[in-house]
Amino acid sequence: MNKRVDVSVILCAYNEGNVIEETIDRVDRVLMETGWSYEIIVVDDGSLDDTRDRAVSYRDRNGESYLKVLSYQKNVGKGNAVKVGFEQARGDFIVVMDSDLDVNPKYIPRYVEALKNSDIAVASKWHSESHAAMMMKRKVLSFGFNILSRLLTGIKLKDTQTGLKAFRRRVLERMTPKILVKGYAFDLELMAACNHCGFRITNLPVDIHVESIIGFKEILRMALDLFKVAYRLRILKYYQRS
């Protein structure tokens, strides 16, 4: 049986070959200072570049036994990457983070510490202490998606999509089998389901710098997934079933 560790960090990666080694290194440095036992799990979600090779190279070059690199050929989406990573995770606390370095890893210890009084800690770009640098179009889309999400699902979080979250292990053990969305709206589905199942969720600040914008097809896909989540939540009561 694999020995448990204090913290597992799951890094979801798609075409991040240019930054994945820096991401691993920065997360490692942050965790090293905590004194916790930990592991870092890179999940290469069917990248078309050398993301996997660079992560493996980093592991082999540094001889890091705490680093796992998982991969599969077809790009499926963040939801699937999180599930694959969690299947291998040994941590009592699970941190899920995007690997593009849009989010500063320095906050990870604060998020894990917050789990002493909460079940989930969620990054919010709208938190009063957050520093968010992003294009106005992206801000408007994010704000609009959140308003629609709150109306349809009843969730009170101001932000579900920012790429840093921490969970008590039991939360993901219970909820990941129920999560159906594999793409961008995975975070919304998970947070809405957890909210309606009574888990305690706290919002925390984040440093985030985003240059990319979401394409029209992705926006439509997210909107469709949102309506499906609302239907499962409001009509079917799917997530609340034991």
27, 58 in Cβ contact below 8 A? Answer: no
pLDDT, greater one: 126 or 173: 173
Is residue 35 assigned to a domain? yes
Give every CB contact of residue 185 below 8 A, 6+ residues apart in sequence: 221, 222, 225, 226, 229
- Is residue 1 scored above 60 in pLDDT? no
Is residue 209 assigned to a domain? yes
What confidence score (pLDDT) does residue 97 get?
97
Q: Write the CA distances from 154 to 64, 82, 92, 216, integer angstroms.
A: 43, 24, 29, 25
Is residue 239 assigned to a domain? no
The domain that holds 230 is classified in CATH as 3.90.550.10
Is residue 83 assigned to a domain? yes
What confidence score (pLDDT) does residue 90 get?
97
Is residue 101 assigned to a domain? yes
Task: Give the mean model confidence (pLDDT) for residues 176-195.
Answer: 92
Is residue 10 assigned to a domain? yes
Provide the residue range defining the domain that includes 79: 5-234
- Is residue 191 scored above 80 in pLDDT? yes
Is residue 241 assigned to a domain? no
Q: Quick one: angle between helices 136-153 and 216-234, nearest 10?
A: 20
Looking at the structure of the chain, the number of domains it has is 1
Alpha helices in the chain (DSSP H): 20-32, 51-62, 78-88, 108-114, 136-153, 169-175, 186-196, 216-234
**Cα–Cα dist 82/149, whole Å:** 21
Is residue 242 assigned to a domain? no
- pLDDT-derived band at 65 (thresholds 50, 70, 90) equals confident
Q: Which amino acid is at 131?
A: H
> If you average pLDDT over every residue of the chain, what do you get?
92
